[in-house]
Amino acid sequence: MDFAFGEEDEAFRAQARSWLAGHVAGGWERRAWERALGKAGWIGLGWGEGGYGNRTATLTQQVVWAEEYARSGAPPRSGHIGEKLLAPTLLAHGSAEQKARFLPPVALGEELWCQGYSEPGAGSDLAGVRTRAERCPDGTYRITGQKIWTSLAHEADWCFVLARTDPDSRRHHGLGFLLVPMDQPGRVEVRPIRQLTGTSDFNEVFFDGAQARAEHLVGGEGAGWTVAMSLLGFERGVSTLAQQIGFAGELARVVREAVDRGAVDDPVIREQLVRQWAELRVMRWHALRTLGGTGDAGAPSVAKLLWGGWHQRLGELAMRVRGAAAGAGPRDWTPSAPYTLDDVQRGFLFSRADTIYGGSDQVQRTIIAERVLGLPREPKGGV
């Protein structure tokens, strides 16, 4: 696919850059920022013509928006799970009624979503989910179980939940993909998970008889695995290019600090800096080569392996550049603020999870081995 930007793309870039320049400045509450994006039509650029209140854009224009957003220093998104994961899934598998109900609020930035996939006993092995969804006489589903590592669950209005609708089923059979409202006191409990960084972006979510309507089952009973796997295919697309813009900014800061501290005079550190730059270029070309393509079962796994390891190594390199000073916080310890980090330290600690969340490196290599190279499937049960 040719990703040369034409005149229309550059006009789109100027429009995006102008809007961002006029709105990024100033403190934004996260929901207010999502509504501002929605009001201006910047949510759902890739959905196509559907009448859901979104602005349409070509694939190259979506790349332009992602790049300009990252360069502008705009706030982190709270609505990306609804926009980038739920919406494409509904467009592919949802009923007309489901699309009409859920897509317009996402496009307007009015409803936020979280993803109910991983469980304590079914993280990387998603087919092992144990959360149950029992069909009640009134047609609703009663959901019982636990999800973990649920990003932004503490802010979300809705959760798409992979649950077992057939209690006698095993593995990827008998699963359902349900849209569940989070505002169910006594039935849905969210517990933040404190991370190494001191923040709590991830959560445990407990469902104790939570209700979901029958018309909010996507794809029908037993189709949950198909729908869930389709969603994972949407997880890595245009957004990876924006991610790489952010990575480039992080690398530039590490290079500047290496120069300022004289660490760049160390030939080992200098070689590592060059390697990080070269690998980032490889990531970009891989993303452009695979963007918009279909049928490449290994492309998402290769992308995850590339960026997860790269970002983790950058965090380690940033600490190496700083030397002994990396162990000291930006402010003196006080009883009221005993755990203060700067951006570099926070990035290093958070990057320890990069090779785990979103599918661990081991799982990605297994996918490539089985689905691309055609190697024998991994034995189950340690046999």
Q: Give the C-alpha separation, 291 to 55, whole Å.
A: 20
Q: Give the C-alpha separation, 135 to 279, whole Å.
A: 50
Counting beta carbons within 10 angstroms of the beta carbon of residue 264, is it exposed (0 to 12), middle (13 to 18) or buried (19 or more)?
middle
CA distances from 251 to 68, 256, 257 (A): 18, 9, 10
Per the CB < 8 A criterion, the answer to whether 175 and 225 are in contact is: yes
CA distances from 293 to 80, 288, 300 (A): 21, 10, 11
- 3 state SS for 71-83: HHCCCCCCCHHHH
Per the CB < 8 A criterion, the answer to whether 341 and 197 are in contact is: yes
CA distances from 122 to 140, 171, 178, 372 (A): 25, 10, 18, 24
Q: Give the C-alpha separation, 371 to 367, whole Å.
A: 6
| Residue 372 DSSP symbol | I
Per the CB < 8 A criterion, the answer to whether 168 and 175 are in contact is: no
Letter for the amino acid at 98? Q
Q: What are phi and psi of 203, to 5 degrees?
A: -145, 155
Annotated catalytic residues are: 235
